[in-house]
Amino acid sequence: MSGNSVSSRVEDILSGIVPLMKLISLTVIGLLLAHPKTQLVPRATFRLLSKLVFALFLPCLIFTELGESITLDNIVRWWFIPVNVLLSTIIGSFIGYIVVLVCRPPPEFTRVTIVMTAFGNTGNLLLAIVSSVCHSKNNPFGSGCHSRGVSYVSFAQWVAVILVYTVVYHMMEPPLEYYEVVEDEGGVEIEEIAVANSNDVSRPLLVEAEWPGIEEKETEHCKTPFIARVFNSISSYSQTSFPEVVDLMGETGGESSSPRSLQCLAEPRVIRRMRVVAEQTPVKHILQPPTIASLLAIVVGSVPQLKNIVFGYEAPLSFITDSLNIMASAMVPSVMLVLGGMLSEGPRESTLGLRTTVGITVARLLVLPLVGIGIVMSADKLGLISPDPMFKFVLLLQYSTPSAILLGAIASLRGYAVREASALLFWQHVFALLSLTFYIIVFFKLTVDNVQGVP
């Protein structure tokens, strides 16, 4: 019995280590190819590869796997997946606030600390882990492991994307202290105070790894404390201090009989400011190729007539889905190669402080997964989630990944804490190799013990 027990423990440990070793091998290859000393592959190539992942490989994977698995019944059964993303974000924000209280980062980085603790990588990295776990025939989740896992992860994509392009976008707004009111002969204008960490001339690969072409998305107000200026104009600042904000709200100060002016006169001032902020929210960026693929897969998969045309061996358009499937197989190796290229650049200089960096990393990689275990297992006991072990495994993974790489892109877009976000993402992904190995072993014990797989 003791020999069998030791053998079982060794198998449990290997089952958690081997999938990550596969991903680490791919990452190391990317690191060696992109390392400044070898420079076997230029950075421009990795940028192009990240664009292919974003615009082609990832959408193909999402559409082929989610579209074939999704049904109207599954949409109802999988309701806890998007809810879990919201729960992990809310709890992560609360833990991030505790990190702020304990570690006391510089005041201008309070929101960065909360964001980097709250928002995890629920997209590419989860897909890579699931694909690696399911790659072997004797995987612990049984037949259909890869298809089910990718479908569960993909079903959560749209929630995470909406949160990033709305909540995160505004939380990563540069603090008002970075700006000052300057008077000159031409009137009043807002000028940015020069700070070492507000804008980075060299754009690291990290900030484009999950949002290629970000430099083309900049708008007039994306690098300004727009919300603070709008709402502070109610009391702290005069409306003449922010002429462009006043113009956006239609508060010209003069008489006007235009329909727009009449509408503004009838609209409460606070509501008007909320509307202006909503108009400046980049919701149009939500419809990126991966999100479009998710929505299209849900529509096609939910309509049996369409599904029979697109999916299945005898489907008239099966040759198209087969072609997409071939391209989808390049997603995981490409993502890990790009991650290796990102890590080859090393950590960026950061003024966040060692204590805060360690606090965020510990909170994100060690504390939040423990909370996630409590939530997911409680939901399982209450019968709120599917009995599928892979379903629970994906839910648990959503709490245990490092911060989303997309946060680096948002930081670059807003011109705020770019170096700090880059440094945090670097160290989190390095130490995630250890934390994920441990937690994957724990998750296997919690989800697949005494389960032979789901047919």
Q: What is the 3-state secondary structure (H, E, C) of 241-304?
A: HCHHHHHHHCCCCCCCCCHHHHHHHHCCHHHHHHHHHHHCCCHHHHCCHHHHHHHHHHHHHHCH
Residue with tokens 């900049």: 218
One-letter identity of residue 277? V
- Which pLDDT does position 269 carry in this prediction? 60
- Which pLDDT does position 190 carry in this prediction? 43
Residue with tokens 């009995």: 387
- Which pLDDT does position 450 carry in this prediction? 43
Contact assessment for residue 117 and residue 96, using Cβ atoms and an 8 Å cutoff:
yes
Distance CA 372, CA 400 (A): 8
Contact residues for 246 (Cβ-Cβ < 8 A; gap 6+): 233, 239, 240, 252, 253
Contact residues for 294 (Cβ-Cβ < 8 A; gap 6+): 62, 63, 66, 154, 155, 157, 158
Please name which of 285, 289, 282 lies closest in space to residue 123, comparing C-alpha atoms. 289
Please name which of 219, 167, 233 lies closest in space to residue 404, comparing C-alpha atoms. 167
Query: How do the pLDDT tens digits run along the chain, 455 residues long?
Result: 455 555 666 666 777 788 888 888 998 998 899 887 877 888 888 888 888 888 899 999 999 998 888 888 988 899 999 999 999 999 999 999 999 999 999 888 898 999 999 999 888 889 999 988 888 777 788 888 888 999 999 888 888 888 887 788 777 777 766 554 443 444 444 444 444 343 443 556 665 655 555 555 555 555 555 555 555 554 444 444 444 454 555 554 444 445 555 454 455 665 665 555 555 555 566 778 888 898 899 999 899 899 999 988 888 988 999 999 999 999 999 989 888 888 887 787 788 889 999 999 999 999 999 999 999 999 999 999 988 999 999 999 999 999 988 888 788 777 778 888 888 988 999 899 889 989 998 998 888 764 544 43
Distance CA 406, CA 411 (A): 9
Residue 2, class by beta-carbon neighbours within 10 Å (0-12 exposed, 13-18 middle, 19+ buried)? Answer: exposed
Task: For the beta carbon of residue 220, count every other beta carbon within 10 angstroms.
Answer: 10
Q: Model pTM greater than 0.85?
A: no
What tokens were used for 102? 């304990």
Please name which of 99, 203, 190 lies closest in space to residue 411, comparing C-alpha atoms. 203
**The CA-based dihedral angle spanning residues 133, 139, 145, 149, taken in that order and rounded to the nearest 10 degrees:** -30
Cite the beta strand spans of 94-244 per DSSP E: 179-184, 187-192
Question: DSSP string spanning 334-400?
Answer: HHHHHHHHHHHT-PPP-SS-HHHHHHHHHIIIIIHHHHHHHHHHHHHHTT-S-S-HHHHHHHHHTTT
Please name which of 34, 116, 20 lies closest in space to residue 433, comparing C-alpha atoms. 20
Distance CA 422, CA 434 (A): 20
Contact assessment for residue 233 and residue 241, using Cβ atoms and an 8 Å cutoff:
yes
Number of residues in the chain: 455
Task: For the beta carbon of residue 256, count every other beta carbon within 10 angstroms.
Answer: 13
* 275 Ramachandran zone, left/alpha/beta (phi>0; psi -120 to 50): alpha
